[in-house]
Structure 1
């Protein structure tokens, strides 16, 4: 049995979209390969911060890497200066020790091109990193054009995200329609648009409510978010997976007014159950929804477009709402199913 060495984050330390996606992928790979894991144990609050603990973790992981042999190295590219240098070191050391083995780099973000533009150091590191990789995995075909400036397109493979959890198909659409409840489920990060969302809710008229769930990543930001709490807006801690499905099934709409996204798992979790979403047209979000989806936010005018989308979606009658829910469920089944994801993932790791 061939061995896959995975280096990356998992949700037992930091719960976010990439760590949860990693968990799904390594669970599949474990069925077919001898899987070895070097876990990057980085707390969510330390993301985007250079701390001594992260340097110590890097050195510890490199020591483990020297003692490991594998047919494949599988890792996620972190979009930060420290992240790309760290990934470059991992790949160079692995290829030195395993010259005939393959390197699979997974890019979960949609902003890599913007990250390296007009920065010679970033561009040099990323270009050489992707050049020595065997395969590069992206979330959407839209990414292929952006990455073609670094290397030949034949190395790029598209692997859409998916949800592995079993979902209860017994959804009460009428109860959901009558709830008038809006959801925000994401870590409390400024770029997720949480401040815009709260500002709109405390300004717009209507009988709808907003329940927010997420992990606190920054004390100062969280204190600002807390100030937006009201009779119509609740601010809650992160929820567990088994609780999340119950909350999603009892809501009218999910709202995610982000400034930067790749292919958010929470959108897939919503549309898999037919829950309508109001989301920013950023990253690969538009391709996660049916063509001409009418509830996309304008990145350059989020608060105004959010008010407009909310007014439109809450004007739907039940038949229109139900038809929208079924269309979203069908789109998920046709484009993001677990079985399809599994087949495509295993193709990537074919010899």
Structure 2
């Protein structure tokens, strides 16, 4: 079977790129699949983005003619990502190639609600016409069917490889944030919670690491200075690859106080090391973080509760219990073996329907 996969350039930061990298690194030849990847998006000004997509579009047309893929597998979020994938979807219809769309964008539903009636109909049409829509969890699945009942969805949770390394308790805990520094990630709320912990005298046994970059970075650093918490917080920039693995191995707790999410890979990566998680109860996060079992769920923006839950984890026995549960949940529910088995079956089912 031949598959053409389409998504972000590997140079783009974020969870979608991490998923694409994971898929590209899998041994598809062992499954009898030959996969070709064409990126359609890279950062830059609008003109650069447009030119990059035009060049990618030409490559896609050439690949459809010469490579003759059995399936086109696309990674999509919202805004411009939808427009690009919708254009490729029209090509798939023209060449009679079934397409599978892997929907990642945590703000897709909100974005849909803000679209014009004309744009909303285009979105519903794509949801109806594509061969299959992969969603990240039960909540996301429900929301997509509210938009378009006729959409053919398959739930596929993100997954990770479980490392041999397991986080261990230390008297000074390292709390980690991983992600792009944008407003919806709630990092400003995290800094406010750190301020509350300082007022309670609870920062002697904990240090916070903000691993990420983005448009909010300078404002967040200024907030840390203004609230006199710079001694307790380190901004280390964007981390990936081996550096990220080493950072995860040295950390003890993950915090993700977002206002919108799907099912972040960062949460699963942290849990695979045995890190308890404090995260907002948004999107499909509750499928991975069970309140009081392997971490805590908070309401977005509730900095008081965020500080309270972080303080609870400073107890050794409680931390160890949450840590063990976090790692076991990843092994049971979010292993890469099950992930690729499900994805492979989906590819072959889709290809079989094409032949019928």
- TM-score, normalised by the number of residues in structure 2: 0.86
Deviation at 1:179, TM superposition (A): 2.3
Is 1:65 aligned with 2:60? yes
The residue that corresponds to 2:107 in the other structure is 111
**Shift in alpha-carbon separation, 1:173–1:113, aligned structure 2, 3 A:** same
Q: Is the aligned partner of 1:141 residue 2:138?
A: yes
CA shift for structure 1 position 58: 1.9
Q: Verify the 8 A CA contact 1:10 1:20 in the aligned structure 2.
A: no
Partner of 1:248: 248
2:317 pairs, out of 307, 316, 319, with 319
2:78 alignment partner in structure 1: 79
Query: Over residues 114-167 of structure 1, what are the superposed CA-to-partner deviations in whole Å (9 max), with x where a residue is unaligned?
Result: 221263133211111122210110111222222224545672111111124x62
**Separation in structure 2 between the aligned mates of residue 151 and residue 202 of structure 1, nearest angstrom:** 44
> Partners in 2 of 1:42 and 1:10 — Cα distance?
6
Question: What residue in structure 2 maps to residue 346 of structure 1?
Answer: 344
Q: RMSD of the alignment, in Å?
A: 2.1
User: C-alpha deviations, 1:191-222, integer Å up to 9, x for none?
Assistant: 1111221232234221222111113x22xx32
Q: For residues 45-64 of structure 1, what are the structure 2 equivalents within 5 Å?
A: 46=44, 51-64=46-59
Per-residue CA deviations over 1:7-32 (Å, capped at 9, x if unaligned) read 11143x11311011012223337323
Q: Distance in 1 between matches of 2:345 and 2:108?
A: 24
Number of residue pairs the alignment of both structures matches:
331
Q: Structure 1 residue 349: deviation in Å? A: 0.3
Gaps of 5+ in 2: 352-356
Asked if the contact 1:71–1:102 (Cα under 8 Å) also holds between the matched residues in 2, the reply is yes
Contact 1:25/1:345, CA 8 A, preserved across alignment: no
Select the residue among 18, 21, 29 that pairs with 2:19.
21
Distance 1:238 1:319 in 2: 32
Corresponding residue of 1:238: 238
1:291 to partner: Cα distance: 5.9
Give the 3-state SS of the residue equivalent to 2:86 in structure 1: helix
Q: Where does 1:2-13 land on structure 2 (aligned, <5 Å)?
A: 2-11=1-10, 13=11
CA distance in 1 between partners of 2:341 and 2:210 (Å): 35
Consecutive aligned runs of 4 or more in structure 1 exceeding 6 Å deviation: none
In the alignment, the residues of structure 2 paired with residue 153 and residue 26 of structure 1 have an alpha-carbon distance, to the nearest angstrom, of 30
Unaligned runs of 5+ in 1: none
Does the CA-based 8 Å contact 2:133-2:151 persist in structure 1?
no
Which digits, 9 at most, give the CA deviation of each residue in 1:272-328, with x for residues without a partner? 1111111111111111123654611112x32122122122222x2x23221211111
